[in-house]
A and B are shown apart, each in its own frame.
Chain A
């Protein structure tokens, strides 16, 4: 079959099983758009800004495990996509981002809409390619998908100059079914000797703690993790990225850990004698002060990325490999023997954990007059039966979503944990809704974040994507205001958002349903009404208590045992 570069690209995407292409046209990709016009196999979603395209593809990828695919033009098209690429990179999300480039003969001449896309994206991709010859196109695309989806996943950029896609130059095409790269062979199976050492250490624990991250979700290893945790009966905490890998409503789950983790999870981290880190990267928001981290613990760390092991915290038993495969092997060894942990010590450990839990660190003071943001998340949980896909933006609302909406399944909680990208939530929700058209999809956001990609409400209308937006509107950049209250003597420097739009009217102007809710009594009804509108996007603007803070909090430079508690919790702790 003789095809042009554009035809090869579209045929390849079809052969690769790509369902959606999130994109925005422009000069350098017009040959490709002409081929998109000529086919129906890959559905193109026209976004309103390239950042939106990357976040939609990202949401799609996180919700399905399949790579998200993006097509943007050269120059500003590529630079607009960079924030979304960096977001996916920090959270190890498989994306393939195809960027147009000026023709090969014009590269380096400062041509119209030229940027060095490979250079600009190099630090925030897993890998990138510049395709200079149409004969390399199919193989390069195959490599891009292979690198993006294997090992520790991540975004891959393929920069394609316009002349490579020209319609008049046709070459033979065959789908490259396999790919071989001598320089890229991720280690998937854990070292047997290390696994045995880890098991010995795990079983010797008197005060064990399981700490898991996004790697468990990415590797679809939730079932293996549940089995592992249940056989041992150990307490488990998840990072922000790892929520849902272990059921959030299970009694062995003691909440998220880290800066806004639960008191019991952080205290258990501080006092544990064996820490089992799985698919997590000991990030600063989780660890706090490295020198105060788990002072009494021997540490096992399972991760597919060797560079994540002993990067910030020195571990004692490292295992490089796919977390699912390694957990599967450990589970097999546990099931095949009667070696079990010290039941007496474990019972005493659980007793201490329950005492920490009894201070009820997430408690907040209810109000009849002001809507408490936490209560909105709790009522959203009830209204959706705890079974929604929930995306979020970044800030206080993100933490409340993580604290008050327990996720029982992986891939249900979708947020920008690593890069902390405001504007992520709504476009990501659109990608999730495309992937799962019948699912309930909610975006928990704030008035600061939602504005950053608000234009995608238009995309939502064009493709009839009935997501539900839960805007916790406190008229402040809440997390900034909270830090200013705690660390800058309440000097609210540029954290108050003046001149906000009427969000309900704004949503309606895009053709959606808008609601403004300012009384606590109306919260539940509004949510039920919104979710009853199955085929409409509903924007719920909840006017919330502007003074509410996220508790508990481990301040920067502190240890897990030095959390700041809310007033009411502090009193219970003293009692």
Chain B
């Protein structure tokens, strides 16, 4: 089953490679991983999407907790939470396709960030399935580049992951 694990890490060089190294050393899956500093510059917040049986997920959380640089960890899969991912897509657009692509972007509440004579850069946010759906609605041969942030997630309400 897919799990979303949120971590607060010491903002130290090497903290990211400790997490990534753990997953490769123990042959766990990583579907996506995103990390950046928080409002407290001594800590980084990581959102990690993985999958496995209950036993494997239990081991993953225990092994992550064992890393000295991991300050706190929460598997937010089972709790009410908000998921978002941001995607930038560069598409080749010419002639009538310009209108068509803009119309699709509007349907997905996408924003066109850059326009040239032959290309658009479109920003779309949402959960993973929405981004997949957007990609699928475009003409594949027109897609020049796709950049995705990996999933970000945060628990709803009072419950949360804080220092």
B1-57 CB contacts (< 8 Å) to partner A? 10, 13-14, 17-18, 21, 25, 55
Are B62 and A307 touching (Cβ within 8 A)?
yes
Q: Which residue of B lies closest to A127 (CB)?
A: B68
Question: A302-325, CB under 8 A of B: which get 1 and which 0?
Answer: 000111011100100000000000
- The stretch among A177-185, A270-278, A407-415, A553-561 that forms the contact with chain B is A177-185
Most chain-A Cβ atoms within 10 A of its Cβ — which of B10, B14, B25, B68?
B68
Residues of B within 8 A of A182 (CB): 71, 163
- The stretch among A12-20, A115-123, A378-386 that forms the contact with chain B is A115-123
Determine the distance from Cα of A124 to Cα of B16 in the docked complex, in whole angstroms: 17
Q: Which residue of A lies closest to B22 (CB)?
A: A123
Our pick among B21, B62, B163 for the contact of A122 (Cβ within 8 Å) is B21
Q: Which residue of A lies closest to B24 (CB)?
A: A123
For the complex, is B66 an interface residue (Cβ under 8 Å from A)?
yes
Residues of A within 8 A of B59 (CB): 307, 311
For the complex, is A130 an interface residue (Cβ under 8 Å from B)?
yes
Determine the distance from Cα of A182 to Cα of B17 in the docked complex, in whole angstroms: 20
Residues of A within 8 A of B125 (CB): none
Determine the distance from Cα of A296 to Cα of B14 in the docked complex, in whole angstroms: 45
Residues of B within 8 A of A130 (CB): 13-14
Most chain-B Cβ atoms within 10 A of its Cβ — which of A118, A119, A126, A307?
A307
For the complex, is A443 an interface residue (Cβ under 8 Å from B)?
no
The answer to whether A306 and B18 touch (CB under 8 A), given A183-B71, A314-B55, is no
Q: DSSP majority for the B interface?
A: helix
For the complex, is A147 an interface residue (Cβ under 8 Å from B)?
yes
Determine the distance from Cα of A310 to Cα of B61 in the docked complex, in whole angstroms: 13
Our pick among B10, B25, B65, B69 for the contact of A123 (Cβ within 8 Å) is B25
Are B66 and A305 touching (Cβ within 8 A)?
yes
**What total of chain A residues lie within 8 Å of the partner, measured CB to CB?**
19
Determine the distance from Cα of A123 to Cα of B58 in the docked complex, in whole angstroms: 20
Residues of A within 8 A of B89 (CB): none
Q: How close is B138's CB to chain A, nearest CB, in angstroms?
A: 40
Determine the distance from Cα of A309 to Cα of B55 in the docked complex, in whole angstroms: 11
Are B68 and A122 touching (Cβ within 8 A)?
no
Our pick among B13, B21, B65, B69 for the contact of A306 (Cβ within 8 Å) is B65
Are A183 and B10 touching (Cβ within 8 A)?
yes
Are A122 and B14 touching (Cβ within 8 A)?
yes
Determine the distance from Cα of A122 to Cα of B70 in the docked complex, in whole angstroms: 15
Are B21 and A147 touching (Cβ within 8 A)?
no
Determine the distance from Cα of A342 to Cα of B17 in the docked complex, in whole angstroms: 53
Determine the distance from Cα of A127 to Cα of B63 in the docked complex, in whole angstroms: 13
Question: B96-136, CB under 8 A of A: which get 1 and which 0?
Answer: 00000000000000000000000000000000000000000
Our pick among A127, A305, A310 for the contact of B58 (Cβ within 8 Å) is A310
B144-160 CB contacts (< 8 Å) to partner A? none
Q: Hey, which bits of chain B sit against chain A, CB under 8 A?
A: 10, 13-14, 17-18, 21, 25, 55, 58-59, 62-63, 65-66, 68-71, 163
Ordered by A's residue number, 5 sampled pairs between the chains whose C-beta atoms are within 8 Å are: A122-B14, A182-B71, A183-B71, A307-B65, A311-B59
With A181-B68, A183-B10, A306-B62 given, name 20 new contacts (CB 8 A): A119-B17, A122-B17, A122-B18, A122-B21, A123-B21, A123-B25, A126-B68, A127-B68, A130-B13, A130-B14, A147-B68, A183-B69, A183-B70, A183-B71, A184-B68, A307-B62, A307-B65, A307-B66, A310-B58, A314-B55
